[in-house]
Amino acid sequence: MNHQFSYQAALAASEKVSWRVEDIIGGEKTLDFTKPFLPESLARVEPLSFLSADEKMSLNQIRGHGYLYTFGLVEEFILPFVLDHARPRLNGDDYRVRALLRFADEEAKHIHLFKRFREEFLDGFGSHCEVIGPPREIAQAVLAHHPLGVALAIAHIEWMTQRHYLDSVQGDEQLDPQFKSLLKHHWMEEAQHAKLDTLMIEALRDACSQEELDTAVEEYLKIGCLLDGGLMQQVQFDLESLERAIGHPLSESERDRFFEVQRQAVRWTYLGTGMTHKNFLATLESISPAARMRVEQVSPAFC
Ligand SMILES: [Fe+2]
Ligand SMILES: [Fe+2]
């Protein structure tokens, strides 16, 4: 991938945009449950025409809660991965060490931020929302893959965050201002992470054997499959959460439609938006043109 990314520039940008969890949530800053939390392009509640306007709002907010939880979850494997990547070369380039440690610090802060928003959500939503996990176990399963495959999964997630904000959230005036602020502040720091991921992938790639390079994309796709399995379980939980929130079960045909729309909505939110991002595809191409082609072959199933 042709780029101008550097550890020094990422560190400087990170220092410039830095924020505190306390500045974003708590005290006067609370969620407004009369407004949607996610943009419709990610939530896809409108095609479920059998739901009333209030019921669609509940589903949008359940999906918002899933977003908080899912990002908290993936950041549980990003944090140790970045620390492990920094650790062997703490005496080298000072900018590299500081940029990577700051990256890890920001992910620890994001885990905290998503937890704080979940607390606010659970205080105000009024009924239970089940979630997959525990995050530690999923993180361990992801980290068991080849480091280059894990680094690709992380780059996918960070570019995906950029796309969510720029394509769908930024111009949406209907969203709850607090939730929108969360997505904005997350985007501001993830912009540096996506660039640092690209540098991490290049360092890992240069240290890999040809055989490792040939299997890297399969390792990435195995992680995608693992996450997809969890996400599909989450859609089942979201249906149960919706039925609890609206106080009645859906009919058989309504459930079928719910699964048809929401499985694809969740796949697009967490998988399709990352695997089709142009910068992510360019990074794959820097490993091999075949790696890019392989992902382009499977991505329509997640869009
Ligand atoms: Fe993050
Ligand atoms: Fe990140």
> How far does the centroid of ligand 1 lie from the alpha carbon of residue 51, in Å?
33
3-state secondary structure of 26: strand
For residue 197, give the ligand nearest its CA.
2
> How far does the centroid of ligand 2 lie from the alpha carbon of residue 194, in Å?
7
Report which DSSP code applies to 49. T
CA distance 163 to 187: 9
CA distance to 41, 64, 122, 253, 267, per residue, from 56 (Å): 14, 12, 18, 17, 19
Residue 257 pLDDT: 98
> How far does the centroid of ligand 2 lie from the alpha carbon of residue 193, in Å?
5
CA distance 235 to 255: 11
For residue 72, give the ligand nearest its CA.
1
Residue 219 pLDDT: 98
CA distance 295 to 178: 35
3-state secondary structure of 29: strand
Which long-range contacts (C-beta less than 8 Å, at least 24 apart) are formed by 45-54?
A: 47/257, 47/261, 48/254, 48/257, 48/258, 48/261, 50/250, 50/254, 50/257, 51/246, 54/246
What is the full per-residue pLDDT of the chain (303 aa) written as tens digits?
789 999 999 999 999 999 999 999 999 999 999 999 999 999 999 999 999 999 999 999 999 999 999 999 999 999 999 999 999 999 989 999 999 999 999 999 999 999 999 999 999 999 999 999 999 999 999 999 999 999 999 999 999 999 999 999 999 999 999 999 999 999 999 999 999 999 999 999 999 999 999 999 999 999 999 999 999 999 999 999 999 999 999 999 999 999 999 999 999 999 999 999 999 999 999 999 999 999 999 999 999
For residue 154, give the ligand nearest its CA.
2
Residue 2 pLDDT: 86
Those residues with Cβ within 8 angstroms of residue 94's Cβ, 6 or more apart along the chain or in another chain:
none
For residue 185, give the ligand nearest its CA.
1
> How far does the centroid of ligand 2 lie from the alpha carbon of residue 107, in Å?
6
For residue 103, give the ligand nearest its CA.
2
Residue 92 pLDDT: 86
> How far does the centroid of ligand 1 lie from the alpha carbon of residue 219, in Å?
22
For residue 155, give the ligand nearest its CA.
2
Sign of CA dihedral 152, 157, 162, 163: positive
Six-digit token string for 265: 């909505």
Kindly tell me the number of DSSP H helices and DSSP E strands found in the chain.
12, 0
Those residues with Cβ within 8 angstroms of residue 71's Cβ, 6 or more apart along the chain or in another chain:
110, 114, 161, 186
Question: Given the structure tokens 């990435």, which residue do they identify?
Answer: 220
* Extended strands (E) in 206-303: none
> How far does the centroid of ligand 1 lie from the alpha carbon of residue 154, in Å?
10
> How far does the centroid of ligand 1 lie from the alpha carbon of residue 49, in Å?
34
Report which DSSP code applies to 20. -
CA distance 180 to 172: 9
> How far does the centroid of ligand 2 lie from the alpha carbon of residue 248, in Å?
38
